[in-house]
Structure 1
């Protein structure tokens, strides 16, 4: 294991942040898989899974089983880890400017295409190497105007050359689910099977330029920008949501780390054999995912548990008016698995109350929550 520390600027004079990176195997070996947890720094399940995966990889490396390269960033957001408001951790949004730490990653396709276009030929593998080199140079040339932008670029530099990128998150309360792009789906579905995903949400553009999409969609865009040359799809990435915020335990972390390790074996980064279980769900369009919202304020209770298959018209939640006692039912308008909901139980008007993975697209625009 090679441990390195990347120093990031802080907001105040004389302040810095430290990003720890753990690398396993030959840095030039393929496949290269990048795993990170805690980009939303108030989400613990992914950080624990990444840390426990690193422990397993260290053991496998000692046994001589590393055939590829794996980089692990157990805590990908040191800025957010230090943000507290009146005793509550606030790791999803940058308190300096309000931006989501998992949004606003740069769209680099045109810059990379301009840099590499004249050098491409008819050999897909040679083009792949040229594009990765151009991508690295493009990211390296960028400057981050704020510490959180510097963090975004540091994470892109670490992951840009990877064949597969796994960004570990969680929801408020949820079943395991993931988000990915169509071009990455074939390489990501084995991960969905191994982790027992109850929903696999697919979109070419989900809105807001999240980390995983900035890496995967780049290659699809390059194929369109450079139509006269073969451009392989060089990176498959996903956002893997490991249940809810309170689902942090050594038992769950070990289970998730084991599933991630088996995926690395399946991908050929670690020597061994693994049998894929059946996929627990069919992929669904993110545009078909219903985001239930509160029509009135009040105290929130749920009529169904996460993981329940619901039908259009079913009561999913109830909101009690604390003044009158009136109960307002919130019904599904989409059929599918109720896969996530918030951890809080006081509703304001417009509060997102949960998500249902439907099979029929009906939304457009920004498909992800803020």
Structure 2
């Protein structure tokens, strides 16, 4: 393992931060896998899973079994790790401007398309090399003026030319679920089965330019722009949600790490006997078919449905109790599906999102992710 420290913009004079990056295998070897944890710095389940991945990779490297290149960033957001409000960690949003650390990554497709238009050939592999080099060049030219932008640029530069990108997150209270590009569903099907995913959500574009789409979206859009040139989809990227915030234990993390290692064996990054892939627990559904269930009133939230439960349209998932009047207002789902995540708080304002239901009927457009 080779470890490097990448300096980031200081938060203030003397307040210097750095990103720790572990590298396994030979630089430039393929397939290349990039793994990062805790881009939302208060989401710890991915961080403990990354810890166990590192331990497994150290042993595999000692045995000479790393065939590709693996880049592991075990804690992807040192800025967020410094942020606490009255003792509570807040790692999702940048305190300086309120922007989500997993939003606002550069959309490079238009400029890349302009630059590669006359350079693409009938050789798909050559086109991949051309596009990767151009993506990196355009990313280098992207202006990063704040510490958070410098962090985003640094992370994306580590990942954007990888074959596979695994961004490890968690929700508030949730079952295992995963977000990925529609054209990556088959690529990640074994990973979903190995991790026993209960929900898999697909989209070509979810809105607000999250990290995973900054890596994968260019490949689908460039292939569509140049249909007469072979452009293989060459960066499969996913956001993996490791249950809920409180699901931090070695048992979960070791099992999750084993699944990630097994997937990399299947992908040819690590040498070894191909693991048996279990039957999938779910079928992928469109992200646009997912429903955010909002609180119909302000009050105490008393959930009546656990994460992972199958629900029908009109089912009551929570009672909203007015502590002053005693009025009980039911919060109902509008669609059939699996309620895969819910909030941690037990008091909500009217209109606040309470839970998420993965449905099968497309019902939303525009920005499909939460704040």
- Please give the TM-score of this superposition, normalised by the length of structure 2: 0.98
Deviations 1:200-239 (A, max 9, x none): 0111111110000111111111113333321111100111
Distance 2:2 2:189 in 1: 30
Structure 1 counterpart SS, 2:157: helix
1:325 aligns with 2:326: yes
Find the counterpart in structure 1 of residue 365 from structure 2: 364
Q: Does the 8 Å CA contact 2:106/2:139 hold for their aligned counterparts?
A: no
Find the counterpart in structure 1 of residue 340 from structure 2: 339
Structure 2 unaligned spans of 5+: none
Q: Does the 8 Å CA contact 2:135/2:160 hold for their aligned counterparts?
A: yes
Find the counterpart in structure 1 of residue 239 from structure 2: 239
Find the counterpart in structure 2 of residue 66 from structure 1: 66
1:312 aligns with 2:313: yes
Find the counterpart in structure 1 of residue 263 from structure 2: 263
Find the counterpart in structure 1 of residue 165 from structure 2: 165
Find the counterpart in structure 1 of residue 146 from structure 2: 146
Structure 2 counterpart SS, 1:368: coil
Distance 2:256 2:9 in 1: 32
Q: Does the 8 Å CA contact 2:297/2:320 hold for their aligned counterparts?
A: yes
Distance 1:52 1:114 in 2: 43
Distance 2:72 2:57 in 1: 10
- Please give the TM-score of this superposition, normalised by the length of structure 1: 0.98
Distance 2:364 2:121 in 1: 40
Q: What displacement does 1:38 show?
A: 0.4
Q: What displacement does 1:310 show?
A: 0.9
Distance 2:88 2:328 in 1: 30
Distance 1:180 1:70 in 2: 20
Distance 1:121 1:194 in 2: 38
Q: Does the 8 Å CA contact 2:178/2:238 hold for their aligned counterparts?
A: yes
RMSD value, Cα: 1.0
Deviations 1:307-332 (A, max 9, x none): 11111121111111100112111111
Q: What displacement does 1:116 show?
A: 2.5
Q: Does the 8 Å CA contact 1:45/1:247 hold for their aligned counterparts?
A: yes
Structure 2 counterpart SS, 1:237: strand
Q: Does the 8 Å CA contact 1:128/1:231 hold for their aligned counterparts?
A: yes
Structure 2 counterpart SS, 1:33: strand
Distance 1:119 1:131 in 2: 9
Q: What displacement does 1:287 show?
A: 0.9
Distance 1:5 1:140 in 2: 19
Q: Does the 8 Å CA contact 2:42/2:92 hold for their aligned counterparts?
A: yes
Structure 2 counterpart SS, 1:170: strand
Q: What displacement does 1:267 show?
A: 0.9
Deviations 1:271-315 (A, max 9, x none): 112111111101001111111000111111111111111111211
Q: What displacement does 1:37 show?
A: 0.4
Q: What displacement does 1:43 show?
A: 0.3
Q: What displacement does 1:115 show?
A: 2.5
Output aligned runs, 1:161-240, within 5 Å: 161-240=161-240
Distance 1:11 1:345 in 2: 34
Structure 1 unaligned spans of 5+: none
Q: Which runs of 4+ in 1 moved over 6 A?
A: none
Distance 2:164 2:370 in 1: 24
Find the counterpart in structure 2 of residue 121 from structure 1: 121
Distance 2:246 2:257 in 1: 17
Q: Does the 8 Å CA contact 1:312/1:334 hold for their aligned counterparts?
A: yes
Q: Does the 8 Å CA contact 2:31/2:163 hold for their aligned counterparts?
A: yes
Q: Does the 8 Å CA contact 2:106/2:142 hold for their aligned counterparts?
A: no
Q: Does the 8 Å CA contact 1:106/1:214 hold for their aligned counterparts?
A: yes
Q: Does the 8 Å CA contact 1:110/1:225 hold for their aligned counterparts?
A: no
Distance 1:186 1:218 in 2: 18
Q: What displacement does 1:98 show?
A: 0.6
1:105 aligns with 2:118: no
Find the counterpart in structure 1 of residue 78 from structure 2: 78
Q: What displacement does 1:114 show?
A: 2.3
Distance 1:103 1:65 in 2: 36
Deviations 1:34-85 (A, max 9, x none): 1110000010001111121011011101001111111110100000010011
Find the counterpart in structure 1 of residue 91 from structure 2: 91
